[in-house]
Structure formats: C-alpha cells, structure tokens
Amino acid sequence: MERKFVFLGGLPRSGSTLLSNIMAQHEDVHCFGQSALPTLFERTMGTWYELPQHKQDISSAREKLRTTLGGMMMGYYQHVVEPVILEHSRGWPAQIDRLQWILRQEVKIIVPVRKIVSVLASFEKLYRSNIHNVLPQQRSKYGRMLDVEGRCSVWLGEDEPLGVSIRILRDAINRGHGKNMLLVDYDELCTHPKASMARVWAFLDMPQIEHDFSNIEQVTVDACNDLIAYGIDHLHNIESSIHIPADDAETVLGRQVYQRYKDATWKP
C-alpha cells in the first residue's frame, strides 16, 4: 500500500486523542499525536516569497513551494513503516484547500465534535485538576480566570483553543468542504464505539477491523510532556477503556453558567 495521509482535527476536549489511539489498533495506521506540520508550513510560507531567488520567477517559486511542502510531509514520516499516516492538528480543517493543492487530490479529515457546554465542563475539570500548576491563561488573562463564568469566556475566546476551533470548523463548512469531513461526535463514539468506528473506516475506504475497546493502549506521545509542551498537565491522557461520559456539565459549571451555554453550538 502506498503512503496515504488521513487528517484529524476538530474541537478540543472532544475525543481526538482517544480516537487516534483507537485507530492505531489498525496495523496499517501510524498515530503520533499532535503534529508540528501546520506550524512548519506557516513558517516556510512566511518567508518563501521574500527570497530574491523566488522573486525572480514567481510561478516557478510557487511550484517549488508546493513540492517542498509535499516533500516536508513525506520526510516528516520517512522513518514510519505503516502506510497510513494519521496527521493530527486542530487546524487542519482550515487547510483543506492548501492540502489539496499540495497533494493534488481530495483530502479526508476526521473531525471530532461535542456539545459546547460539555467541552466547557471538560476544560473546567482540567483547570481543577491542575491545582498544582499555573495555566498559561492564568498568566495572560488573570482576572477572567478567577471564576467559572470567566474561564468559560476565556476558552471561547477568539485566540483560545475552543473559540479558534469553532471558527475554523464553521468556515470549512461554509466554504463547501463538508464532503471532505467526517464529524465524529464524542458522546456517540463512547456510547456506540463499534458503529462509530465502522463509519470512520468506511469514510476512509479502509477495511474495518475488530477493535478492543476495553484495552486501548496510548501509543500517541501527547501525554508524555503536556506540562512542558503546553503548560497544562494531563491535557492528552486517555483511559484504557471506553465508557459513557458523565452528563455532569450543569454540576461542574453551575446552573447559571450551564443555562447560558447549554444551547451553544459549533454549527454555522
């Protein structure tokens, strides 16, 4: 089987790490965790046309950029033996056009989603479990991080993970890229894992395998150094078995904040 890239990117706290490690049970799939490729793309493109050699022939420089970015993708995984690479970054839905330009083919992106109020409750639990740590947002937005209401407004901010991801997903849908994306609802994945994974493999035109949902090995390296890499401990830890998530958003957020966000949606 020739090298194939599958992209994963959706809302935070919506099961992307769990889904990655379930997919890793397929012998042909390589899952590493969060990818640096989108950042490398941006940094390369940020200076590409500033080089005098590229200014001399823009059309040639454009084609060299395309092949360089494609070569970067291949080289990034040169050491990997599995033919299918699961490329994980929340920003991929914003890069569909660019990816199709680089690869010269339609791309497929798996998009984990979840009710907004449940995502906010998950962030609140994460905040509370980091009592031994000072989160980056506590340094940059100290006043708003002092209560649940403020913390929810932070996570939904235009420069924060949830707010950014919502805008990216809405934009991708509005630009007509719905056909390139498979939405995987976190609650549905946990409640009906077999059916959810059948949809995933069918979307990717890959043979379905028999998963072990009671023994999920964390092969992604996300959780190894979360505190060092992101300033938030336990950001990407998963449990070894799937279970139905607790419906505790109202208890976690409090009735007033819950009522404010219970009908909020990521949909356009």
Using pLDDT thresholds of 50, 70 and 90, give the confidence band for residue 231.
low
- Examine residue 79 and state whether it is found in any structural domain, yes or no: yes
How far apart (Å, rounded) are the C-alpha atoms in residues 224 and 216?
A: 16
Q: Considering the chain, what percentage of its residues have pLDDT values greater than 70? A: 94
Residue 238's pLDDT band (boundaries 50, 70, 90)?
confident
Residue 268 lies in a domain: no
- State yes or no: pLDDT of 261 exceeds 90: yes
Task: With cut-offs at 50, 70 and 90, classify the pLDDT of residue 221.
Answer: low
pLDDT band at 33 (very low <50, low <70, confident <90, very high): confident
Asked if the structure places residue 267 within a domain, the reply is: no
- pLDDT exceeds 80 at position 189: yes
- pLDDT of residue 78 exceeding 60: yes
- Please state the rounded mean pLDDT for residues 186-195: 97
Cα–Cα distance, 176 to 36 (Å, whole number)? 26
pLDDT at 233 exceeding the cut of 70:
no
Q: Establish if 255 belongs to a structural domain.
A: yes
Rounded Cα gap, residues 257 and 150, in angstroms: 10
| pLDDT tens by residue, 202-215 | 999 999 999 999 99
Domain contains 266 = no
- The helix (H) or strand (E) run that includes residue 47 is helix 37-48
Q: Could you give the C-alpha distances from 120 to 149, 227, 252, in angstroms and in order? A: 10, 20, 9
**31 within domain boundaries:** yes
CA angle 22, 179, 37 (to 5 degrees): 55
| Confidence tier at 225 by pLDDT (50, 70, 90) | low
Q: Sign of the C-alpha dihedral, residues 116, 160, 106, 202? A: negative
What domain range is 94 assigned to? 4-261
pLDDT at 239: 82
Is 135 contained in some domain?
yes
- pLDDT over 90, % of the chain: 79
Give the list of residues 6+ apart from residue 201 with CB closer than 8 angstroms, or none: 26, 207, 208, 209
Residue 229 has pLDDT above 60, yes or no: no
Q: Which residues pair with 183 in a beta bridge?
A: 111
Query: For tokens 């397929």, what's the residue?
Result: 26
Q: Which residues partner with 109 through β-bridges?
A: 7, 181
In the predicted model, what is the mean pLDDT of residues 229-239?
A: 66
- Looking at the domain assignment, is residue 102 inside a domain? yes
How would residue 195 be classed by pLDDT, with cut points 50, 70 and 90? very high
User: In angstroms, rounded to a whole number, what is the distance separating the alpha carbons of residues 161 and 117?
Assistant: 14
Confidence of residue 136 (pLDDT cuts 50, 70, 90): confident
Q: What is the CA radius of gyration of the chain?
A: 20
The model's confidence at residue 137, banded by pLDDT at 50, 70 and 90, is confident
What's the structural domain count of the chain?
A: 1
From CA 24, how far away is CA 18, in angstroms rounded?
A: 10
Measured CA to CA, the distance from residue 111 to residue 92 in angstroms comes to 9
Q: Taking residues 6-12, what's their average pLDDT?
A: 95
List the CATH number of the domain containing 230. Answer: 3.40.50.300
